[in-house]
Structure 1
Amino acid sequence: MSFNPPGEVPALPVALAVGVVAFVVQLVLLLWGGRFSWSRAAVAAGIAVYAAGIVANTVFPIFLSPAQSEEPWSPALALIPFHDYEVADALANVLVFVPLGVLIPLLMRRPSRWKVLVTAAAVSLTIELLQLAAQRLFSGGHVADVNDFMWNTFGGAVGYAAFVLLSRVPVLSTILNRFRWHSTTATPHTV
């Protein structure tokens, strides 16, 4: 029994594949670099689950056989900041990217606010471009929106700010250092 409309690609198998591939690639990087530990593997698992969730919730639904229409198709693209955008959507986008702002500096040798901000922006831009491509190729169900990009990036910055604050508490800094992929005794750079 299928709950997907005819022609709809189910999100779960694709998201699981993305998560498994992301996890395996990270484990291989940890093993090859001689940096494997269970706490670092937990970060890899967190990133894999996060990536799978992002793919499932931002790219899907997609349809292999979209409904036919007499009107010419044009992708839904919102390029005007703050136009026809709800506060609830902004908050959701911020909250979804806060974990990324915490996970990114765990992977970096010398995290800084700019590196994390650029990485969060790159991830958000990739999502918006995937949504645009999914619309074009598969009649995807999401709008590529500059507002999503802005609020996602802001969410990454909020997550990094929380990470920096937590890193300044000695007990929490010690715990965070166990999860870092690169050993460090200093707190993350703020510039």
Structure 2
Amino acid sequence: MPTDQLDLPALPILLPLGAVLMVVSWAVLRRRGLLTARRLLTAWAAGWYLVAVLGATMLPLRLAWGVNAGEPELYRIILIPLTTMRVDDFLLNIVMTLPLAALLRLVFGIRDRARVVLVGFLLSASIELTQAILDLTLHGDRWADVNDLMSNTLGALLGYLVLRRLLRFASFRRAMEDCSLVPCRSGERPPAIRS
């Protein structure tokens, strides 16, 4: 029986996905009566961030199955931290999740450090687990790496700390409030960011 193979390219998937997310976010904001230019730009930025993370972590992707696909390449699953870590990959993964704290605050109203770090960890764990499952079952060509999990979680924490510093400036805080997709109820002050 021959080996079957599927190549998933990046751009033909990511560009339509980004466009769909733009239309959906516009429709949702309009339906909820929250449509402003700043909120729409926030929703679009969040959608394209999601698309970029998907592209950086999952696409392009080559999958193979069948009798001649061979054994899974277990060396693509790295479970021991730091021993095979590449510094440039570690730093890029930190940078990838730096915006997460701001986007979580703007889109979902998540303001506390523990939840931001937990979301960063769970997002990264989901990506790495998906990569490992694809590597084991469909001979995927991505790397599942515990170092990525650590650096992505660290990036979420550092992003939170940077955001907390920036929120000390009244003009930045007002801009965040204007762009937030989770507006405060009338007469209510937004809760201060907690450490």
TM-score (norm 2): 0.82
**Alpha-carbon separation, structure 2, partners of 1:130 and 1:47:** 22
Q: Which runs of 5+ in 1 are unaligned?
A: 1-5
Structure 1 23/125 Cα, relative in aligned 2: closer, same or farther at 3 Å? Answer: farther
Note the residue ranges of structure 2 that are not aligned, 5 or more in a row: none
Alignment of 1:30-49 (within 5 A): 30-49=29-48
Distance 1:71 1:133, change over 3 A: closer
- Once residues 24 and 18 of structure 2 are traced to their aligned partners in structure 1, the CA distance between those partners, rounded to angstroms, is 10
The answer to whether 1:128 aligns with 2:128 is yes
Match of 1:29 in 2: 28
Is the contact made by 2:129 and 2:144 (CA closer than 8 Å) also made in structure 1? yes
Q: What are the within-5 Å matches in structure 2 for residues 47-62 of structure 1?
A: 47-62=46-61
> For residues 67 and 94 of structure 1, do their structure 2 counterparts lie closer, same or farther at Cα, with a shift above 3 Å needed?
farther
SS of alignment partner, residue 98 of structure 2: helix
Alpha carbons 2:77, 2:145 under 8 Å: kept: yes
Identity rate, percent: 26
Q: Which runs of 4+ in 1 moved over 4 A?
A: 64-71
Measured after TM superposition, the shift of residue 90 of structure 1 is 1.3
Aligned-residue RMSD, C-alpha? 2.5
2:26, 2:109 → 1: CA distance? 17
Aligned pair count?
A: 186
Q: Shift of the alpha carbon at 1:176?
A: 1.4
Counterparts of 1:55-74 in structure 2, within 5 Å, are 55-65=54-64, 71-74=70-73
Matching residue of 1:190: 194
Q: How does 1:9-158 map to 2 (within 5 A)?
A: 9-65=8-64, 71-75=70-74, 76-158=76-158
Q: Which amino acid letter does the alignment assign opposite residue 190 of structure 1?
A: R
